[in-house]
Amino acid sequence: MKFVDEAIIYVQAGHGGNGCVSFRREKFIPKGGPDGGDGGDGGSVYLVGRKDKVTLYDLKIRPHYRAHRGLHGKGKKMHGKRGGDVLIAVPLGTIVVNGNGAIGEVTRNGQKVLIAKGGKGGRGNDRFVSSTKQSPRYAEEGRPGEKKTLTIILKLISDIGIVGLPNAGKSTLLRAITSARPKIGNYPFTTLNPNLGVLKNNRKCIVIADMPGIVEGAHRGKGLGLQFLRHIERTNLLVLLIDISTPEPLSQYECLLNEFKQYRAALLEKPRIIVFNKIDLVEDIPTYTLTEKVFYISALKGTGISNLVKYLNK
């Protein structure tokens, strides 16, 4: 299934049912009073979190959702049935935006977020009886349900995010430490969408995301820019992967931190480690003293992978 992290949907909640105007008419009861029932409320539209979903592809191919209307009230004080709700399954990390503001987000499995409220059912004439109005001959109409055009945005939730410039070896590293099999090629932007893998140990499963490659100017949307940066907001630990075989490896490190700062400074506060990759292509491996914990590996050959995995499993 194709990875999609943004979709526009059109939702309409159900119309409330009309209240009923009715009077009791039974044999041997000559003065039967009003007995019109209420209309049922219209159904609502909800987003529901599903931990087994990782894409908004379903919303992209089916953007229209409409809940059922409530049934009209009837005589004998019979209330109309409430309209059925519509539940839209979305991945964890989904945000719903109406206009310029977020109106809710889904972060837990099974969590429901109301995005369009059903219309209230109208009251039947039985509800309007009073000491001065013994036989009201009117009832309320049902109220319309909410109708909205919404933008649904996915920010992947993962324990660890692997980030780096194009061709740093992110997909190769994900393949080396998990059972994921992402596309790998010797050209920029092999990864066009985040790939997910799971690193298992005796206590838990650690979800690792291989993010699309970043380039200078990503915070302005250059390359895969904003698509890349949005997903790293939800990671608990960042693995900055640097190609040590390039002439100036630290320039990649500085580029990544600068893009984080320009996009959202809070990203610099996230825990991170630095992993220098492709040591198999370097005769004399340089060492760097940085504030972060540093690893030297060859994702392709497997060198240094066991020490990295041991650290990630903590």
Per-residue pLDDT tens over the stretch 76-104: 999 999 999 999 999 988 999 998 788 89
The CATH superfamily assigned to 6-154 is GTP1/OBG domain (2.70.210.12)
Q: Residue 23 gets which letter from DSSP?
A: B
Distance CA 249, CA 284 (A): 14
* H/E stretch holding 241: strand 235-243
pLDDT-flagged residues of the chain (< 50): 1, 182-192, 217-225
Angle at 220 between CA 216 and CA 221, to 5 degrees: 90
Phi, psi (degrees; rounded to nearest 5) at 220: -100, 5
Q: Find all residues with CB under 8 Å of 279, minimum gap 6, and list them.
A: 244, 285, 296, 297, 298, 303, 304
What burial letters (b/e) apply to 279-294, b meaning 16+ CB within 10 Å? beeeeeeeeeeeeeee
Q: How many CA atoms does the CB half-sphere of 269 hold within 13 Å?
A: 5
Task: Give the per-residue pLDDT at 134.
Answer: 86
AA letter at 158: S
Task: Give the per-residue pLDDT at 202.
Answer: 58
Q: What is the mean pLDDT of the chain?
A: 85
Distance CA 144, CA 41 (A): 10
Looking at the chain, the whole-number percentage of residues with pLDDT higher than 70 is 86
In the chain, domain spans? 6-154, 158-312
**112-140: pLDDT as tens digits:** 999 999 999 999 999 999 888 888 999 99
Distance CA 34, CA 126 (A): 5
Q: Could you check whether 6-154 and 158-312 share the same CATH topology?
A: no
Residue 10 CB: number of other CB atoms within 10 A? 13
Task: Give the per-residue pLDDT at 227.
Answer: 59
For the domain spanning 158-312, the CATH number is 3.40.50.300
